[in-house]
Chain A
């Protein structure tokens, strides 16, 4: 029996109609729409118990306390910790990246040894053996660089370096370096702390306090807390600097002034204060008065800075009549400022009687050291890394035989990059403990990846700018994802191998000891119900129950202490001012005004991958970064909007496009930092240019400090 055509067609037609009455086609259509939302290549979200654990941000220099959301024990999101005094619930874009950076494509996945131009993975044991051998041979000429301003790890690093025969233990230059130098010259000890919470009038000289300067998240919370939405603000902020940066954008007033003139502006205000009768019994006041009256009258200042006399007179008057005025000085881009402007700014605080007062400045004592033989923070900050490396490059300073680099990226993050790279080349054995493949790690002989903050024990002790002593804990809430180790442990292991006694077996012990030492500091308390600024304002500090401190720190609370250490009176250091601050003629050359933002990361983190979206297309478009000039400057330099230009300085050329932005002073070229990486991953690499490399380093008269606050550039 055959199937003829007619029967076949009938069968097909009947079958089709029949199938329509079954659920099959409808189910298939329905399924199709379900597939479209469940393609196998679309990642699934994790499932499991949600909980929150506390730690502290180490990637972000603002040191915010964090609440980490976990799912089934895995970290998912980093949010601000409302009960942490440096966060108050806020979190910067950079601190937010702590979790996803665990999986950054730039992470170094295992220890590596240089093999010609590339790296070959090695085991930790091999790495230790290799390092012990090389460092043993380099004894007496071992240097170290740390980019961590706040960690106890520096004690381990500097103690080890010292035992190996130190050629210098350096901190990467920052606001803290400059401020430490200034405080030393003014004859005081400790770190200048600024009580924004209790200040009602803040004069900001250059410092980008709401972005890169110090405890910026806490600074903003303090600023915002006294400015209820839509109502008259209970505080006044005045910003003095070359651009209307993120800080100036919300300040009540922006006074345009070149970064090189910050000291002049400060002394110009001092002139008005002195004229109004301000006085001080601090050492050096008479010299100071003579210096100010001798060269910083309203007309002198106007000639040098272009600022109208009445502008400064008004500010001086506002400061003098404020209940709790505060003057804070810093670099508009977080580094490179000389000590003199900080001294000049601090002089205003002295004239206003703001030292060790609520809403003023306190010299915060350093927390007790626990590793024997370690350098103090003050001693580390006293080192001048750019000067050292320049010396090495020129041959004036003997090159160390070995260099240990912790949490630092000097090949990218220092001025005069070309010189610094040459200096690094002269050092025969370099070890990087970087977590990410940064520019410096790429130059090193050994790369021994540090575990990320969420994978290790670490700590944050009084970040620069904090108005109070503060200590918070960084603790592992995730097993290391890659074959990385806590550098503290590696260094202690190395010490054992070299038979050097550093007292501790592992880094957790160091941290525990550090915490234990805090219980002995008088006046310390855990900020829980009472915040340190409330104590500064007169509220009694709660007592510290010793045994609970570790638990409290683990729970995300911070140990804090208010007030300054007893010490000799602060002096005016007027002789430094006389040498370093000059109300001269304004610069005729084009001056670079770099600005930095947390969203572009630090030299150590590179560009956090999510933060690339935050960068506006007036800063980065494709692979080109933009410089900003106002229309007057653009006209003078014959620059057009969107034009491609070449910037030259310090023997380096950088490409850029022109963005016309009116809130830049005439003659200034504002340039974003944090771009132009040659290492890291595709989120950082090749995106724009590193304008910091254009900055030439000079020596500040009077203090001898390296500075690069107002680099001259050529534009073609």
Chain B
């Protein structure tokens, strides 16, 4: 049955300001190369393409001129109560580390795709084929993320390797690695977003900006009523955008 929300002293969270997102895709581009996702020739087949970070186009479904659109970047939501973790038969994915990032252990995954089925956010991607880089391009692979063989499931890890790096840097600087400064650890998409629409930090740390942002009256999470308790928050001053974050009955 659905488990309980897992609490950790540090809770890494992302806050995405939808009202600032132009939908350019720079976050996706950042993510793909940071995390060694292969360039995909048939990327227009969205049911097969791998994009740990994916920008959705939202619409208010009205006709011209009352139509409005918004863009919603969607990383792994790092649920507090992840639907994917309890279902994995081999503990290849877990939420057991301070920070609350849902892990994915590629060498452990047997590729049953039960987690893919369980996740309503579609953040989990399966390796349908072995990854192939154009000749020589594998020289630009990032040393921070392993290359996945085919047959395993992969997903956004909040650039977990950057956290490790940030902790190391803090230790070298004689600071407390468990109490990083705001901005010492941010994901690749957050760092490179040209609009500054993405913010990242420890939701529980009052010194971090996201600590306040998640309390905004305009903040919402995706599919809150399913009890997934995600660690990714969205902010929009537009009500129709906030309403698209969850399913509502007509009476609500």
Contacts and interface: CB of A to CB of B under 8 A. Distances in A.
Q: Find out whether A and B make contact in their complex, taking CB atoms under 8 A apart as touching.
A: yes
Interface of A: 33-34, 36-37, 39, 41-48, 50, 69, 71, 74-77, 79-80, 89-93, 96-97, 99-100, 102-105, 210-211, 216-217, 220-221, 223-225, 227, 229-231, 244, 246-247, 249-250, 256, 481, 597-599, 609-618, 620-622, 630-632, 662-666, 681-683
B196 interface: yes
Interface string B226-242: 00000000010100000
A39 B130 contact: yes
A75 B32 CA distance: 16
A231 B216 CA distance: 8
Contact of B195 (A221, A612, A621, A630): A221
A390 to B, nearest CB: 34
Interface stretch (B5-13, B58-66, B93-101, B170-178): B58-66
Contacts of A250: 19-22, 195
Interface stretch (B39-47, B79-87, B114-122, B243-251): B39-47
Contact of B41 (A43, A598, A612, A662): A612
Contacts of A620: 44
Contacts of B218: 230
Contacts of A612: 39-41, 43-44
B15 interface: yes
B139 A74 contact: yes
Given A92-B194, A224-B195, A246 B22 contact: yes
Contact of A45 (B24, B36, B44, B191): B36
B64 A613 contact: no
Nearest to A38: B149
| Most chain A Cβ neighbours within 10 Å, of B26, B39, B62, B218 | B26
A488 to B, nearest CB: 25
A641 to B, nearest CB: 14
A42 B29 contact: no
Contacts of B46: 616-617
Contacts of A229: 15, 17, 19-20, 199, 213, 216, 235
B135 A105 contact: yes
A431 B237 CA distance: 54
A221 B143 contact: no
Given A80-B191, A229-B235, A612-B41, A210 B24 contact: yes
B147 A45 contact: yes
A612 B141 CA distance: 18
Most B CB contacts (10 A, CB to CB) among A33, A43, A221, A223 go to A43
Nearest to B219: A230
B133 interface: yes
A635 B149 CA distance: 48
A249 B63 contact: no
B29 A611 contact: yes
A87 B68 CA distance: 29
Contacts of A216: 194
Nearest to B56: A616
B196 A90 contact: yes
Interface residues of B, number: 78
A247 B40 contact: no
A221 B24 CA distance: 13
Interface of B: 15, 17, 19-26, 28-30, 32-34, 36-37, 39-41, 43-46, 49-51, 55, 57, 59, 62-65, 67-71, 106-107, 130-131, 133-149, 151, 188, 191-197, 199, 213, 216-219, 235, 237
A617 B48 CA distance: 12
5 contacts: A41-B130, A48-B143, A220-B22, A256-B65, A666-B64
B20 A224 contact: yes
Given A46-B141, A250-B195, A616 B57 contact: yes
Contacts of A93: 24-26, 28-29
Given A90-B26, A612-B39, A613-B32, A221 B139 contact: no
A611 B23 CA distance: 13
Contacts of B133: 43, 103
Contact of B139 (A46, A91, A617): A46
Nearest to B19: A250
Contacts of B44: 612, 615, 617, 620-622
Contacts of A39: 130, 149
Given A229-B235, A614-B28, A663 B142 contact: no
A682 to B, nearest CB: 6
A93 to B, nearest CB: 4
Contacts of A611: 25, 29
Contact of A618 (B41, B45, B57): B57
A446 B116 CA distance: 52
A230 B48 CA distance: 35
A104 B133 CA distance: 10
Nearest to B144: A45
A666 B44 CA distance: 28
A79 B67 CA distance: 35
B158 to A, nearest CB: 17
B192 A80 contact: yes
Contacts of A598: 24
Given A227-B19, A229-B17, A612-B43, A221 B107 contact: no
Given A230-B219, A250-B19, A610-B33, A46 B70 contact: no
B192 A210 contact: no
B135 A630 contact: no
Contact of A77 (B23, B142, B146): B142
Contacts of A597: 24-25
Contacts of B135: 103, 105
B194 A91 contact: yes
Contacts of B37: 610, 613
Contacts of B141: 43-46, 76
B136 A481 contact: yes
Contacts of A217: 194
